Amino acid sequence: AFLVPYFLMLIFAGIPLMFLEMSFGQYASQGVISLWNAVPCMRGIGIGILIAMTLAKVPYMMITAYCFYYLFASFKKKLPWVGCHNDWNTVYCSELLKECLNHSSLIVANGSCVLPNSITSSELRDYGVQELSLGNYDFSNYTDPFDGQRVPL
């Protein structure tokens, strides 16, 4: 549905106006602003064209900059967007659980990684962690509060 009006405007307006402006500018040897000063009733068209081109090029340049950023970033050994320690990650990132358990910690309901000795014994029971002796804990029955919601990398 979008292509029909696009091609109609391209054929009946875009290409003829581009050809008119290029041939008129080449004949007069002038730029887009001073070119339209030759026709007194069309003096604002050059400035309007310049503003429209600027507004169209800014988003295009941003997209191009993002493409170059990700192109060169993809050559690094560790990609910048891999892992859970980025600003855009949530508590549902699967690497957080692995890192937390590797440091003998557990993830609580607010998503933070805490040491077992910093929470109460009733909270430890709720998460399925048993205190074996002073400072030693059994994580074999640990239940992740975000189980089933974690997003794999």
Q: What is the pLDDT of residue 50?
A: 87
Asked if residue 142 and residue 101 are part of one domain, the reply reads: yes
Task: Give the integer Cα–Cα distance in Å for 90 and 96.
Answer: 10
Is the pLDDT at 12 greater than 90, yes or no? Answer: yes
Single out the residue in 74, 106, 131 at which a domain terminates. 74
Asked if residue 49 and residue 88 are part of one domain, the reply reads: no
DSSP 113: E
| CA-only gyration radius of the chain, Å | 31
Asked if residue 57 and residue 119 are part of one domain, the reply reads: no
Task: Give the integer Cα–Cα distance in Å for 139 and 134.
Answer: 15
Is the pLDDT at 66 greater than 90, yes or no? Answer: yes
User: pTM score, two decimals?
Assistant: 0.45
Asked if residue 90 and residue 36 are part of one domain, the reply reads: no
Residue 96: pLDDT band (50, 70, 90) is: confident
Asked if residue 34 and residue 12 are part of one domain, the reply reads: yes
The average pLDDT across 44-73 equals 91
Q: What is the pLDDT of residue 43?
A: 84
Asked if residue 115 and residue 54 are part of one domain, the reply reads: no
Of 135 and 14, more confident = 14
Q: What is the pLDDT of residue 11?
A: 94
Q: What is the pLDDT of residue 153?
A: 63
Asked if residue 87 and residue 118 are part of one domain, the reply reads: yes
Domain residue limits at 24: 2-74
